[in-house]
Every structure is written in C-alpha cells, then in structure tokens.
Amino acid sequence: MLELIKIFDQVVESGSFSQAGRALNMAPSSVARNIDNLESKIKSSLFKRSTRQLMLTEEGQYFHQQSAKILQDSNRLLEEMQGDQGPPEGVLRVSVFESFGNLCLTPLIPEFLERYPKIQVELELDNNVVDLNSENIDVAIRIGTPQDSRLKARNLLTNNASLVAAPSYIEKYGTIDKPEELQDHNCLLISHERQKNYWYFKKNAVNKKVLVTGNLISKGGSPLLHAALSGVGVLLLSDWMLKPYLENGQLRELLPQWTSMHSEQGSGEIFAIYKNTQYPRPHVRLFIDFLVEKLESLKRVPQH
C-alpha cells in the first residue's frame, strides 16, 4: 500500500502519468495500473481523467492531504530506526546552471563522494528552469529565490560582480577612472535580448547608469571571459568566474572603489533550492551543508 501511495504522490506532483513515469523510472502504463490498484483498494476515484489533463477528484484531494502525512511519517520512522547503522546511501539528483556547475560545483563533487561513497550523484548542467517535483530533482542551484511555495531555498553565495580587463588592454587603451569613461571602451556584454546594455555603479549614496557597447555579446559568460583574457575588452562578470584570474594577475580589477552591477537591483544571490517537506532527505541536507562549507572561499575576491 505504501508503494502505491508513493506512486500516487508522484503523479500528483508531476501532473501526468508520463511525467511521473520518467521520475519513477517506470512505464506510464505501469503507473496507470498502480493508480487503478490503489483506487480499487480504497474504493474511490482519485483522478478525473481526460486527454488534456489529469485532475484530482474531491476524494483525491482529501486522500493526497492525508497520504502526504503518511509518507512523511514513514520516512521519518525509517530514518529513526536506521539511526547510525551505516553511512547515507542512495541517489541524489542535482541540477545546476551550466557556468557555475562547470567552474564551481564539479570540482567539489569528488570530495563529496569521498565523504559519502554510498551516495550516487546524478548531475545535470542546465540553464533552463526546472520543476523539482515533475522532474524528480532533489536540489537545484540557481540565481534567485523560487516563487513556488512548495520549495525552500538556502543561500549559498552572493553573486557579486567585478569590472575587469587584461593588463594588455589597460596598457593599450589606458586605465578607467570614472564609470562614464566606459562609453569610450570596448565592453564585452551579456545578452539580455534588448538593444541597449547598461552597467550600474554605486559608491556610498552615488548611483550611476552607464550605456555600454562592444563587439562581443554572449548569453553565457565563458566566451566573454576568454575574450577579456586575450585583451579584447572590458568585462563585468561574477566574482566566482573571475577569482582565479584576478589572483594570478591575468585580469585586473577596474574601479574597485565602486560596486559594479548588471542591474539596479544588484547581481542577485545563488541559492540551493529543494522541496519544502517536513522531513528532507538526509542526502539533501548533507549536500547543501557541504556546499555552504566549500563555497565560503568564493565569497571574497582580492582587490587589485
């Protein structure tokens, strides 16, 4: 019965038999058969089925509310009974936006697996918004907090940005003393699907908005970073992408007395997002605690 309830819960979260099947690694027909078996056992129809959508009946809504408590209590009981009998094990599914995943997360995974060798990590590098429930993702790492009340978020890192250029560019075109001087420089730009690009600067109570132009525009930061390293132009990019190049002198910070931002609201925060359940899986807590510990070193970038 408990397995049938787990399948039912996943169908509700996913919104269809096919999506639930993908999350559970089951054929949609098997999911449907299990729901039929559950309805037969409780002698109630749980879903209104149509070709367009799957909706809970009134009985289904009540059953979902009550059965969710059963699943949470069963998970908690299992964890209590297992206690310290052995190391954590199982699959942990993580989705992270591509540039942060490549540069910051993937180098940390081997140490996490060494600490918890029985946990299997499935890592997806994906810039698209993911639905943790329908896609069966345990942790998603994204910039910004989720709007979905069914999700919780833990802050990992402030997405601070710095204005930089290669020493060769500075030697050729001169240093920059004021934000408005950027209008005379080749700026490497993140694409925001608009015709004009602005960079924002703040110092004490002074705020400046500067129109910037350049000969390279990209949706991702990596092409811009490579161009900046080659002396092509001036770059405003997240500190976690710039840190090693500032430390080894391949890039120099410009206007360090100003806070540099891509928007008036700042550059945002990076969060670990997970399902808002009363008893989170131990894997999730362990992984997020590990990230908070390891990403501490990225919170400060030396000024040059």
Residue 219 domain flag = yes
Q: How far apart are CA 66 and CA 108, in angstroms?
A: 39
> What domain count does the chain have?
3
Residue 114 domain flag = yes
- Whether 126 and 206 map to the same domain: the answer is no
Residue 304 domain flag = no
Question: What confidence tens digit (pLDDT) does each residue in 188-230 have?
Answer: 998 876 678 899 999 988 999 999 999 999 887 889 999 999 9
Residue 237 pLDDT class (50, 70, 90 cuts): very high
* CATH number of the domain where residue 154 is located: 3.40.190.10
Residue 135 domain flag = yes
- Whether 177 and 241 map to the same domain: the answer is yes
Q: At what angle do helices 28-42 and 17-24 cross, to 10 degrees?
A: 110
* CATH number of the domain where residue 227 is located: 3.40.190.290
Residue 16 pLDDT class (50, 70, 90 cuts): confident
| Residue of 294, 200, 299, 289 whose CA lies nearest to 240 | 299
- Whether 76 and 142 map to the same domain: the answer is no
Question: What confidence tens digit (pLDDT) does each residue in 136-164 have?
Answer: 788 999 887 767 767 888 888 888 899 99
Residue 250 domain flag = yes
pLDDT above 70 as % of the chain: 88
- Whether 153 and 281 map to the same domain: the answer is yes
Reply yes or no on whether the pLDDT at 302 is more than 70. no
- Whether 134 and 281 map to the same domain: the answer is yes
Residue 225 domain flag = yes
Question: What confidence tens digit (pLDDT) does each residue in 52-74 have?
Answer: 667 888 888 888 888 877 877 77
Q: How far apart are CA 202 and CA 258, in angstroms?
A: 6
Q: What predicted TM-score, i.e. pTM, was given to this entire model?
A: 0.64
* CATH number of the domain where residue 19 is located: 1.10.10.10
Residue 22 domain flag = yes
pLDDT above 90 as % of the chain: 37
- Whether 198 and 64 map to the same domain: the answer is no
Residue 241 domain flag = yes
In terms of residue numbers, what domain contains 102? 90-158+268-298
